[in-house]
Amino acid sequence: SLERYSTEIRKIFTPKEAHRILVQKEIDEVRKKDSILVGVHIRRGDYKSFENGKWYYEDGVYFRNMKKIQEIFNQNGKQCSFFITSNEQIYLENFFGLTIFWKERHFITDLYSLAECDYIIGPPSTYSLWATWYGAVPLFHIEHPECIVKEKDIPQPILFS
């Protein structure tokens, strides 16, 4: 029934106007840069202890995946930027060489901004699952620290549109 009533469910869970305005402002600002916007959900906080830290990753895990995504898009003639959402401070120097957009935002603004991206990566989390469902955006789950996105994990419409 989720798909059958998806339009109605999205209407019910549409954020208040103040949040929608902030989301649109964030997305409009970053879309000026590059053709593809990749949302990166860096989940920390409770993930340090949840499931014994199974999906709590250091910045290097995200950085390797982001570099690989950048490489895949560049090989296909596209440029990409990364829109980072997190429940902790992000140190931009850990993502040197990438076009990054991050700042502290309300979690609703972060969540619905993710839903406006072209592609999302992050650890298994209902937060990124909601964004991918709400925005109909493809999602790549980083299942373990050695996990690296491959070209086959990125839908062709994004690569070749």
What DSSP state is assigned to residue 117? S
Q: Indicate the average pLDDT of the chain.
A: 89
The predicted-structure confidence for 3-20, as pLDDT tens digits, reads as follows 888 888 888 888 889 888
Q: Percent of the chain, pLDDT > 90?
A: 55
Sheet-wide strand order for 36-42: 100-101, 80-86, 36-42, 119-122, 139-141
pTM attached to this predicted model: 0.91
Q: Would you say residue 34 has pLDDT above 70?
A: no
- C-alpha span between 9 and 2 (Å, rounded): 8
Burial of 64 (0-12, 13-18, 19+ CB in 10 A): middle
Q: pLDDT digit string (tens) for 133-156?
A: 999 999 999 999 999 999 999 988
The per-residue pLDDT for 106 is: 84
Q: Residue 152, Cβ neighbours under 10 Å: how many? A: 8
